Amino acid sequence: MVRLPVPVLSRRRFAQFGAAACGLAVLGRPARAPAAEPGAQSIKLRAAPTRVRLLPDEFPETDVWTYDGAEPGPTLHVQQNVPLSVAVENALPEATTVHWHGVRVPNAMDGVPGLTQPAIKPGEAFTYAFTPPDAGTFLYHSHADSLAQVGRGLAGALIVGEAAPPKVDRELVWVVQDWRLTPNGSIAPGFGNRMEAAMSGRVGNTVTINGRVTDAIPVRAGARVRLRIINAATGRLMRLAFAGHQPVVIARDGQPCDPHEPADGRLLLGPAMRADIMLDMAAEPGSRHAITDDFYGDELAYALTELVYDPGPPVRAHALDAPVRLRPNPLAEPDLASAVRHDIAIAGGMMSGMGMMGGMGMMRRRATWAINGVSMTGDGQKDMPPLFTIPRGRSCVLALNNETAWWHPMHLHGHSFRVLMRNGVGVPHREWGDTVLLAPRERAEIAFVADNPGDWMFHCHVTDHQMTGLMGVIRVA
Per the CB < 8 A criterion, the answer to whether 469 and 376 are in contact is yes
Rounded to a whole number of angstroms, the minimum distance from the CB of residue 361 to Cu ion is 21
Q: Which of 210-218, 280-288, 398-406, 456-464 is the region at the interface with ligand C2O (rule: CB under 6 A)?
A: 456-464
| Closer CB to Cu ion, 104 or 465, in the complex | 465
Q: Binding partner of residue 460 among Cu ion, ligand C2O, none, CB under 5 to 8 Å per kind? A: Cu ion
| Closer CB to Cu ion, 29 or 408, in the complex | 408
| Closer CB to ligand C2O, 105 or 450, in the complex | 105
Rounded to a whole number of angstroms, the minimum distance from the CB of residue 231 to ligand C2O is 11
Rounded to a whole number of angstroms, the minimum distance from the CB of residue 37 to ligand C2O is 29
Rounded to a whole number of angstroms, the minimum distance from the CB of residue 190 to ligand C2O is 22
Q: Binding partner of residue 459 among ligand C2O, Cu ion, none, CB under 5 to 8 Å per kind? A: ligand C2O
| Closer CB to ligand C2O, 181 or 384, in the complex | 384
Rounded to a whole number of angstroms, the minimum distance from the CB of residue 184 to ligand C2O is 30
Residues sharing a CB contact under 8 Å with residue 432, sequence separation 6 or more, in sequence order = 252, 253, 255, 256, 257, 329, 331, 416, 417, 418, 419
Contact mark string toward Cu ion, 456..475, x via CB under 5 A: ----x-x--x----------
Q: Binding partner of residue 274 among Cu ion, ligand C2O, none, CB under 5 to 8 Å per kind? A: none
Note whether 408 binds Cu ion by CB under 5 A. yes
Distance, CA of 420 to CA of 246 (rounded, Å): 25
Rounded to a whole number of angstroms, the minimum distance from the CB of residue 95 to Cu ion is 19
Per the CB < 8 A criterion, the answer to whether 447 and 415 are in contact is no
Nearest Cα residue to 46 out of 154, 181, 162: 154
For residue 70, what is the DSSP state?
Answer: B
CB count within 10 Å of CB 9 equals 22
Note whether 272 binds ligand C2O by CB under 6 A. yes
Q: Binding partner of residue 272 among Cu ion, ligand C2O, none, CB under 5 to 8 Å per kind? A: ligand C2O
Terminal-residue alpha carbon distance, the chain:
42
Nearest Cα residue to 407 out of 377, 436, 447, 450: 436
Residues sharing a CB contact under 8 Å with residue 160, sequence separation 6 or more, in sequence order = 78, 79, 80, 103, 132, 134, 135, 136, 138, 254
Which residues in 141-180 contact ligand C2O (CB under 6 A)?
Answer: 141, 143
Among 11, 29, 99, 274, binds ligand C2O (CB under 6 A): 99
Note whether 371 binds Cu ion by CB under 5 A. no
Among 266, 411, 415, 418, binds ligand C2O (CB under 6 A): 411
Among 266, 289, 413, 418, binds ligand C2O (CB under 6 A): 413
| Closer CB to ligand C2O, 158 or 307, in the complex | 158
Note whether 459 binds ligand C2O by CB under 6 A. yes
Note whether 457 binds ligand C2O by CB under 6 A. yes
Residue of minimal Cβ distance to ligand C2O? 101
Which SS3 state, helix, strand or coil, does residue 331 take? coil
Note whether 115 binds Cu ion by CB under 5 A. no
Which residues in 65-104 contact Cu ion (CB under 5 A)?
Answer: 101
Which SS3 state, helix, strand or coil, does residue 437 take? strand
User: Left, alpha or beta for 247 (phi > 0: left; psi -120 to 50: alpha)?
Assistant: beta
| Closer CB to ligand C2O, 114 or 285, in the complex | 114
Q: Which of 13-21, 187-195, 438-446, 457-465 is the region at the interface with ligand C2O (rule: CB under 6 A)?
A: 457-465
Q: Residue length, the chain? A: 477
Q: Binding partner of residue 152 among ligand C2O, Cu ion, none, CB under 5 to 8 Å per kind? A: none
Rounded to a whole number of angstroms, the minimum distance from the CB of residue 303 to ligand C2O is 27
| Closer CB to ligand C2O, 166 or 270, in the complex | 270
Distance, CA of 64 to CA of 245 (rounded, Å): 34
Distance, CA of 142 to CA of 47 (rounded, Å): 10
Residues sharing a CB contact under 8 Å with residue 365, sequence separation 6 or more, in sequence order = 375, 377, 469
Give the number of residues in contact with ligand C2O, rule: CB under 6 A.
10
Nearest Cα residue to 25 out of 226, 229, 304: 304
Distance, CA of 434 to CA of 297 (rounded, Å): 27
Locate the DSSP E strands across 162-287.
170-179, 206-209, 217-219, 224-231, 238-242, 248-252, 255-260, 266-269, 274-280
Q: Which residues bind ligand C2O (CB under 6 A)?
A: 99, 101, 141, 143, 272, 411, 413, 457, 459, 461
Q: Which residues bind Cu ion (CB under 5 A)?
A: 101, 408, 413, 460, 462, 465
